[in-house]
Structure 1
């Protein structure tokens, strides 16, 4: 019995510092389930916006996360920074010109938000036919990997998207 206590004491002396270093390096994300992280619930609410029908209510709700709405958009900036879609884009249509505008907000370190506006023919509100909303959530479960060419060890942040939690990916995980 005394021998067992001695082994436990020695092993705890070795293991405890390793556990502390590991938890400091990788953060608390590995120990806390997604459902207990407040940013996860905010992320899930944002993902539900993509399921709404394409109408003015959805557009204003999405733009609200950026402090905007359809009435306050800077149309001159949108016209200047929009991209004409070519065959390489999924939204390309050979029948008419389509334009895309991308806006990203990185102010929140846990949730990165991006929206895309798609226009038919010309860039104006009446030609807006779709808005896509992409959300990237940092789940604080960092991982270590090695770069192939330089063999440098790198700690990377792990980002999740709405597709990771949707039904069609659940069978793949």
Structure 2
């Protein structure tokens, strides 16, 4: 923990010094010493840049994540369903409907999609995790689990920005912990 705080202060200070030395000596051909105040301000700027959410906009995986999130905005039709299922290497025709019928859950009052007018079923397709993204797919059916009764496909995607931040382990704990932050489509 103490090592993390030390590195958080030490690395930006060294980088700030080297950047300012480069500017002073090489660009301006000055023999002046680098100001300690400017090094301090520069290190604070580098720390703020590290924690700025805009800095991950330059990462290609973030833009891929944003493009996939746009799929949820499409109307609920066969084109959208096949496009989403393409990220799971399948389509509507090749789904294992026997497995889906067996593993589907009848929605009760504890679910958001529950209505008392008809029976609704939900099936969680699968999770697909790589280094940056975690995908989950939910299929919702009216009355029975069949393709013709599929009324909605909910696609959830989480993007891990791989940055750790300092927090406590739980609400009632004062023990510090490093946790990561995930961005979602919702």
The CA deviation at 1:140 is 2.1
Aligned partner of 2:183 among 144, 151, 160: 160
Which of 31, 48, 58 aligns to 2:70? It is 48
1:105 aligns with 2:109: no
CA RMSD of aligned residues (A): 3.0
8 A Cα contact 1:142 1:157, kept in partner: yes
* 8 A Cα contact 1:106 1:113, kept in partner: yes
Cα deviation, 1:78-131, whole Å, max 9, x if unaligned, reads: 112111111121211111100000123233120111111000111011111110
Moved more, 149-158 or 82-91: 149-158
Task: Find the residue that maps to 2:162 and give its secondary structure.
Answer: coil
State the Cα distance separating 1:141 from its structure 2 match. Answer: 2.7
1:139 is paired with a residue whose SS is strand
Bigger CA radius of gyration: 2
Residue 121 (structure 1) aligned with residue 143 (structure 2): yes
Which has the larger displacement, 96-105 or 29-38? Answer: 29-38
Q: How does 1:5-16 map to 2 (within 5 A)?
A: 5=33, 8=36
Structure 1 segments of 4+ aligned residues over 6 angstroms from their partners: none
Q: Distance in 1 between matches of 2:113 and 2:97?
A: 21
Q: Secondary structure at the match of 1:142?
A: strand
TM-score, with structure 2 as normaliser: 0.70
Structure number with the bigger relative contact order (C-alpha 8 A, sep ≥ 6) is 1
8 Å contact 2:88–2:128 — kept in the other structure?
A: no
> How many residues are matched?
152
SS of alignment partner, residue 48 of structure 1? helix
